Amino acid sequence: MSTLEIVAVLISVIGVTLTVLRNMWCWWFNFIAFLLYGYLFYTYKLYGETILQAFFVVVNFYGFYYWLKGKQTDHDIRIEPLAPQTALFQMLIAAVAGLSFGLILKHFTDAAVPMLDAQLAAFSLLATYWTSRKHIATWMLWVVVDIVYVGMFIYKALFLTAVLYAAFVGLAAFGWWQWERVKGKQDVARSA
């Protein structure tokens, strides 16, 4: 456990908590966390996760812009629906992209766990995209992805990061519950 890992964990907890609360500051804390974890994962030969952090930076700016643009006058972020067919199609794309990326990592790098690393990276990108689009489905996907991450980080002896991702499972479940509650209120307000 390094100082870098400790700081990255703390910044990540703040960022995800602010995301659950639909607070615009989440994007800035997440940006810093992505940079810190990008470097940390590189040192542990988790190249899929390293590249993922770079993608997160790009999606982070998109998410910030999209949330800022979509803010309502009551300063509450409006939660948007996601059609099941769209979700399944996007998950299929993520799986194929993860497989392709995993094969590249396996054959052209010394990645520690190339296939798992690549699949987690692909589905994390999808979950981040869903977060930027304000879809509740993001939290369901994060619960599953974060559970698998816990195992991978234990395997790589990144124990503090494994604890962080275990906490992310709880935060994602809470985010799911909280966003469902808010969506219900928004639906009632819209129909009134």
- By mean pLDDT, which of 28-42, 78-92, 175-189 is the weakest? 175-189
Per-residue pLDDT at 96 exceeds 60:
yes
Q: Give the mean pLDDT of the chain.
A: 89
Q: What is the pLDDT of residue 80?
A: 83
Residue 54 neighbours by CB distance under 10 Å: 12
**Distance, CA of 166 to CA of 60 (rounded, Å):** 22
Beta bridge partners of 135: 80
Model confidence at 71, pLDDT cuts 50, 70, 90, reads low
Q: How much is the average pLDDT of 96-115?
A: 94
Instruction: Kindly report the pTM of this predicted structure.
Output: 0.82
pLDDT digits (tens, 9 = 90+) for 25-45: 998 999 999 999 999 999 998
The predicted-structure confidence for 111-129, as pLDDT tens digits, reads as follows 999 999 999 999 999 998 9
3-state SS string for 6-71: HHHHHHHHHHHHHHHCCCCCHHHHHHHHHHHHHHHHHHCCCHHHHHHHHHHHHHHHHHHHHHHHCE
Please tell me the number of Cα atoms within 13 Å of 7 on its side-chain side. Answer: 11
Least confident of 40-44, 62-66, 135-139, 171-175: 62-66
**Average pLDDT over every residue of 98-107:** 95
Residue 159: pLDDT band (50, 70, 90) is: very high
- Percent over 90 (pLDDT), the chain: 60
- What integer pLDDT is reported at residue 77 of this predicted model? 65
